Amino acid sequence: MADGPSYYLEDFAGSEFARYTFQGKLMGEPLKIRLLELGFGQGARCLEVGPGAGELVRWMVAGGARVTAYDITDRWFGTYEHERVDTHVGDVRDADIGSDYDFVVASWVLHHLPERWKVVARLAQSLRPGGWLIVSEPALSCFWTASGPSQLLERWTSILLRFNDIGVDYDCGPGLPEAFEEAGLGQIDAAVWTPLQRPGSKGARLFDLAVPIVCQLALERGWASEADVAAINADRAASNLVAGSAPAVVCWGQRAQLEGCT
């Protein structure tokens, strides 16, 4: 197995695969919709950075695309192996990711990277003229509670904000449109995707998969106490909880067409 740079959740590889798989299906829905609306189809040449368990890669291949996939490890390449998938281990910050793509996609990757806005510029340059960049990133400031224990999101937010100490920003999503503008893209727009969290919902399932991983890391680093974690678990089990779960900003922008082309 080949590996690139270290990943702060590397020690949770087993449980992370379960989360990646579920997150890819749930959080990939707005990306699939946007790809189709922007003209994705048979013969598209696509790049996905950080494909995780490969949900979107498999979907793009099923739609007739050729996909280049870059990740920091080859651990899960076998889950989306296909004759029209080219897999590479590398760090998107400096790897030769290629160029002339019709679509470039990155979902929940950039918040891990302190150099995230420089990476947006790199991804924009990998597009062909007229190609589209689509990025989805978390938006911590868009968390909300409609009913149930309001302190849940306060406690959860306080933990996620501590990840800034290691260069991870769970609220970088709202900054995407500005980063796209600085990268020279046009036709920029964005929307917020927020799975609803209530007992038995898919949003709650994603939270169930993420909370133990994040809380264990927070305990190890001293960012939360056992009492904090117990309170979070009690709050999220409340029968009347209805809240925004893992809100993400999905942003898209187009590289300018060559002059005289349509």
CATH number for the domain spanning 37: value is 3.40.50.150
Task: Report pLDDT for 260.
Answer: 59
If you average pLDDT over each of 17-26, 152-161, 179-188, 213-222, which comes out highest?
A: 179-188
- Distance between CA atoms of 131 and 105, rounded to whole angstroms? 11
pLDDT in tens, 74-97: 989 999 999 999 999 999 999 999
The mean pLDDT value for 9-24 works out to 68
Task: Report pLDDT for 32.
Answer: 97
pLDDT in tens, 175-203: 999 999 999 999 999 999 999 999 999 99
Q: Is residue 95 part of a domain?
A: yes
Q: Is residue 235 part of a domain?
A: yes
The mean pLDDT value for 12-21 works out to 67
Task: Report pLDDT for 2.
Answer: 43
Is a pLDDT exceeding 70 seen at residue 130?
yes
Is a pLDDT exceeding 80 seen at residue 8?
no
pTM of the model: 0.92
Is a pLDDT exceeding 90 seen at residue 140?
yes
Mean of pLDDT over the chain: 91
Q: Is residue 205 part of a domain?
A: yes
Residue numbers of the domain that contains 99 = 10-254
The mean pLDDT value for 121-133 works out to 98
Q: Is residue 50 part of a domain?
A: yes
Q: Is residue 4 part of a domain?
A: no
Q: Is residue 116 part of a domain?
A: yes
Q: Is residue 262 part of a domain?
A: no
Give the pair of three-digit tokens for residue 135. Answer: 């990025």
pLDDT > 90 in the chain, percent: 79
Is a pLDDT exceeding 80 seen at residue 26?
yes
Q: Is residue 5 part of a domain?
A: no
Question: Beta-strand (E) ranges in the chain?
Answer: 45-49, 66-71, 85-89, 101-107, 127-138, 145-147, 186-193, 196-197, 242-244, 248-254
Task: Report pLDDT for 245.
Answer: 79
Task: Report pLDDT for 63.
Answer: 98
Structural domains counted in the chain? 1
Complete edge-to-edge strand list for the sheet that includes strand 85-89: 85-89, 66-71, 45-49, 101-107, 127-138, 248-254, 186-193
